[in-house]
Chain A
């Protein structure tokens, strides 16, 4: 890195806020997706919000790319450093700035851990609804970048539903306010576009969140079926009965085995396990949970348990939330996927995943947010066996293509990041992707904010809109589009 540039950074964040030594930089070379690694040129750790804008201004002046990073738990390589760029870690900006219970709003800095928000407001009977499985370590800033979901977004919505306002440092270092603590602020919904933009449009430095009143009661039911298809039929019937559960989760036998080996959740050994959670007014939930039990029995469930205490409920969830990490118990390596399908395509997709898995000679464990069709197939492999990693990557890609083929998406909550950008072209046509990039050109014409992520190819911001025409550089053979 240019010493003059590093000196400018040091002047802003001090010695304690700047990392330049290779050993220390290694911590930041990847996020939760560890098979992509790039060494950053430097890492800055601002401890005051104003420092973020000054750091970004320095980057803009020196044309240095930057990647914002929260807790580094992302699963798509969104916080992967870029060659020759710096990482801006928001971990030290972890203050809760304001709690306004009567208006159900909380203002935080981006480094605040997701579950801390709920902890702060729980004494007042409120919670912060988005609950990614990593919620005890992931940050609100990272959740905004990825538009994180979680098991309960079927009923409560995603991060985007719960963010009302933000102060954002744009890639040129200027500060703007998007959204408003009051609803429907006049103008384009730039807040809505910023959430889920994976760090490519700037850095949020203050965030106003909406919190939700805790329901009167929560009931969790666990049902064991012989197969995921039987469990899937029960999901359809529950929804067809007009219910909107807080969560419906499904695990197949391999996922159950892993969860048992890891956290002893005491799940029945079965082909398809369903967790259904209902919440709301007591009288309603009590009547409906009985109905859910009846539907499951009719669809072939041979064991049904309703958690009788908060401890039992937490134990049921523990197995599900630990499912990814638990794969380590049954396989040395694994790839987590995040495809989405129309829920009714589940039997067809499961059969095809089984076929692909057999063809590749690799096991696939399945954990789903069944209510909204968000699959998390876990492709298990052993990196030390020659050729397995490549086969696992191919199988994982084939599963994503399958999701797109049946009308779904390549990612429901983990983001595109570095990992899935080549699959964007499977889901969207070139004009669709170009139109999205118009937004990036408005926010970041110099292409400094997390460049190279999300899109399979960079759109030069001066390009004209309209049908795709090859860029002169492409025609000249100097540059190539993927």
Chain B
């Protein structure tokens, strides 16, 4: 979602070199739209090749210019506010066609391709990327890797780290590095695709990725169960997990004051689905059930709508603590919308009357989640508060090691300075 708006460019002398790298029509002055939190960059470039990115980053590193990579732009508010951003590196021209080795069930795409474009292409061969991140129409491969976003399919197919086979990355110093491979099994060298997954653009610019594909299911059926309280719903989640069933989606939803709903999805051949549903019903403690609403697996997206001041957060707890975590969210925020995957990852929206109240609620929730061994990451919150907290929570003992990793990959802190854990 980059802007098409153009403003008259006034290229200062030291930016002219950049113009010669990407071409005059792919460098423009930044507008209000390009602001990252409250930091406004000077320019936006849209390179078209690894080599152009390498040259641009080399130049930026030498000139002490801070660079923020943007692809679909759907999650630009995630992460800490940047310490500085002078240049937005837009991946809009990295949207070329997909190389789909469909018989090998792998595919390679450029980082700027949207998730739905990838899915559409794979579907022509009866395949899919078994990942359902937020806003697939706009979110891109590169952005989803950088933020490690995942959805309900994760229960069965894992997250990005389990599907990503190889990446091409351009480092701040201009090195173009390929890691991993194009085959599903490969242990040659360090697993850099995993290091880059969820690194928020602080280690390198991801330009291309190879994934494993999965077959599209022959049929799918989803049911919703209504439970009296979160504890009963949590018991059902655990009972399903402990049964020899293979659901491809299992989540607890709670909308403000209403009772918790559990959505359950099976995929495969009809005879297998029917048998599994029968078994699931026997575990549901006679909870009322019905066919699930068509949009229930996208319910997380609705958390970004509502009144403010509000926070959208992601918590992660053990599966046995899901009800507890959901209750903690409500205790700290009053009514709240929550969508928790059965693996223990939950997203919620908490609204309060004042910023001060919001700040207290966040701190309260963070402390109580820590007591049950959970973590909290704040995805969206008012900038005033964002400036006062680390959205990733307190640093852990591996933090100095993470700093050393950053130091090795990007010693001049060219890429997204300040936006990651502990201000990395």
**Chain A interface residues (CB < 8 Å from chain B):** 100-105, 125, 146-147, 149, 153-154, 157-158, 160-161, 170, 175-178, 180-190, 192-193, 195-197, 213-216, 236, 239-240, 242-244, 280-284, 287-288, 340-344, 369, 372-374, 407-416, 420, 424, 427-429, 431-436, 438-443, 454-455, 464-467
Contact = CB atoms under 8 A, between A and B. Distances in A.
Given A189-B194, A192-B161, A432-B179, 12 more contacts: A103-B320, A187-B396, A190-B195, A214-B244, A216-B244, A239-B215, A282-B275, A287-B272, A409-B187, A436-B179, A465-B171, A466-B175
A365 to B, nearest CB: 20
Nearest to B150: A184
B173 A464 contact: yes
Contacts of A429: 178
Nearest to B217: A242
27 contacts: A105-B318, A146-B187, A175-B397, A182-B374, A186-B377, A186-B393, A187-B402, A188-B402, A188-B421, A190-B195, A190-B401, A193-B192, A195-B191, A242-B218, A280-B246, A283-B275, A284-B272, A340-B185, A369-B185, A372-B183, A407-B183, A408-B182, A431-B176, A435-B177, A439-B192, A465-B172, A465-B409
Contacts of B269: 284, 287-288
Given A214-B244, A281-B244, A344-B103, A190 B191 contact: no
Q: Say which size band chain B's interface belongs to.
A: 35 or more
A431 B272 contact: no
B12 to A, nearest CB: 26
Interface in B306-321: 314, 316-320
Contacts of A187: 392, 396, 398-399, 402, 420-421
Closest 7 CB pairs of A and B: A192-B194, A284-B272, A242-B215, A435-B177, A216-B244, A186-B392, A283-B275
Interface stretch (B26-34, B40-48, B235-243, B357-365): B235-243
Contacts of B199: 188-189
Contacts of B251: none
Contacts of A236: 103
B148 A442 contact: no
Interface of B: 58, 101, 103-106, 126, 148, 158-159, 161-162, 169, 171-179, 181-192, 194-195, 197-199, 203, 214-218, 238, 241-246, 268-269, 271-272, 274-276, 279, 314, 316-320, 343-345, 373-375, 377, 392-393, 396-399, 401-402, 404-405, 407-409, 411, 420-421
A158 B183 CA distance: 14
Contacts of A158: 185, 187
A125 B184 CA distance: 29
B396 A177 contact: yes
A242 B375 contact: no
Contact of B404 (A157, A242, A442): A442
A412 B186 CA distance: 4
A438 B181 CA distance: 19
Contacts of A409: 181, 183, 185-188
Contacts of A125: 242, 244
A453 to B, nearest CB: 11
Contact of B183 (A189, A341, A424): A341
Given A187-B392, A342-B101, A467-B175, A373 B185 contact: yes
B245 A242 contact: no
Contacts, number: 271
Nearest to A200: B190
B271 A424 contact: no
B131 to A, nearest CB: 14
A432 B216 CA distance: 34
Contact of A373 (B104, B218, B374): B104
A462 B344 CA distance: 41
Nearest to A414: B187
B175 A442 contact: no
A431 B177 contact: yes
Contact of B343 (A183, A215, A454): A183
A429 to B, nearest CB: 7
Given A186-B393, A280-B246, A281-B246, A177 B158 contact: no
A427 B188 contact: yes
Contacts of B268: 284
A302 to B, nearest CB: 25
A213 B345 contact: no
Contact of A183 (B183, B185, B191, B344): B344
A435 B171 contact: yes
A187 to B, nearest CB: 5
Contacts of A416: 187-189
A193 B268 CA distance: 34
A344 to B, nearest CB: 5
Given A160-B194, A181-B373, A413 B188 contact: no
A414 B143 CA distance: 32
B405 A283 contact: no
Contacts of A175: 397
A170 B374 CA distance: 25
